[in-house]
C-alpha cells in the first residue's frame, strides 16, 4: 500500500486502483471532537480537487477535497452513527470513502509520508 497526503491534510492510501480517502491524524487533532461527517453515496464520481465530504467538529466545519478522482465504491457508514471514530483513528477506522481511481497518476505531486511529516513539523 502506498500512502500520500495533501498539504491540506487529506490522505490517500492506494492499493491497486482502489484509493482510501480521509483526513490525516494531524487534521483530526486540529479539528478537535468530530461531531458529524457528511459523505457521498456509492456510485458518485468526482475529479481530483472536488469537495467530496464535510467534517464538523466542536470547533468548525471543514470541506474535504479529493486528492484523486474516481468513483466511490465504498463509504464508511460507521461514521454516520459514530463520527468520533475519526478521532479514534483518522488513518485507520476513521476512513471516509474508498474509490476506484480514474487516473492513478493523480497521486503525482502529492506528499509522501516523509514530506508530509516535514510539512506538519513547520
Instruction: CATH number of the domain at 32, please.
Output: 2.40.50.100
For the stretch 55-58, contacts whose Cβ atoms lie closer than 8 Å and that sit 24 or more positions apart, written own/partner, are 55/23, 55/31, 55/83, 55/86, 56/83, 57/31, 57/32, 57/33, 58/32, 58/33
Residue 57's pLDDT is what? 96
Beta strand 34-38 with 45-46 is: unpaired
Domain count, the chain: 1
In-domain check, residue 37: yes
Whole-prediction pTM: 0.95
- All three cell numbers of 73, joined, read 465504491
Alpha helices, H only, 13-105: 25-31, 78-81, 85-88
In-domain check, residue 122: no
Model confidence pLDDT, tens digit, residues 63-94: 999 999 999 999 999 999 999 999 999 999 99
Answer whether residue 42 shows pLDDT above 90: yes
| Element containing residue 4 per DSSP (H, E) | strand 2-5
Answer whether residue 114 shows pLDDT above 90: yes
Beta sheet of 34-38, edge-to-edge order: 34-38, 51-57, 61-65
Domain that holds residue 100: 2-109
In-domain check, residue 42: yes
Amino acid at each position: 500500500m502506498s500512502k500520500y497526503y495533501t498539504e491540506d491534510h487529506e490522505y490517500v492510501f492506494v492499493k491497486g486502483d482502489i484509493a482510501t480517502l480521509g483526513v490525516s491524524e494531524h487534521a483530526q487533532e486540529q479539528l478537535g471532537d468530530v461531531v458529524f461527517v457528511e459523505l457521498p453515496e456509492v456510485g458518485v464520481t468526482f475529479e481530483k480537487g472536488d469537495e467530496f465530504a464535510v467534517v464538523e467538529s466542536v470547533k468548525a466545519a471543514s470541506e474535504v477535497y479529493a486528492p484523486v478522482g474516481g468513483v466511490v465504491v465504498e463509504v464508511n457508514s460507521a461514521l454516520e452513527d459514530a463520527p468520533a471514530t475519526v478521532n479514534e483513528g483518522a488513518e485507520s477506522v476513521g476512513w471516509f470513502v474508498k474509490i476506484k481511481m480514474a487516473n492513478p497518476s493523480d497521486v503525482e505531486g502529492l506528499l509522501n509520508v516523509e514530506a508530509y511529516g516535514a510539512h506538519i513539523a513547520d
